[in-house]
Amino acid sequence: MSTNVRFEDWAAEQMKDSEFREAYEALEPAYQIARLRILRGLTQQQLAEKVGTKQPSIARLEGGRSTPSLDFLRRVAQALDARVEVRVVPRVAE
């Protein structure tokens, strides 16, 4: 018998695992950029042209395989008609 689980419930349970949470948080900015690019109707190539870079740079960024500079993120955000927000927040004691 299969049980349906809401994604939100599953994700909340997974977030209790510190390794999962760290991996999720590391990929979150990449997901946001890819999602916004798709919502804007752009291909990686088109976004790269707007940013003044090459498509593989966008692919690495969206895949979480690079650590971009803040300047690069700002250029990407500007090309997507968005803004970059940087926050420093205290760690939650486990």
pLDDT for position 4 = 87
Q: Mean pLDDT highest for which of 28-32, 66-70, 80-84?
A: 80-84
- Nearest CA to 33 among 94, 82, 66, 71? 82
Q: What is the mean pLDDT of the chain?
A: 88
Instruction: Check which CATH number belongs to the domain holding 34 and give it.
Output: 1.10.260.40
- Residue 9 pLDDT > 70: yes
Residue 6's identity, in one-letter code, is R
The CA distances from residue 1 to 4, 6, in Å, are: 10, 16
26 by Cβ neighbours in 10 Å (0-12 / 13-18 / 19+) ranks as exposed
34 belongs to a structural domain: yes
Mean per-residue pLDDT for 26-53? Answer: 92
Domain presence at residue 17: yes
pTM of the shown model: 0.70
Q: State the average pLDDT over residues 39-61.
A: 97
Which structural domain, as residue segments, surrounds residue 37?
Answer: 7-79
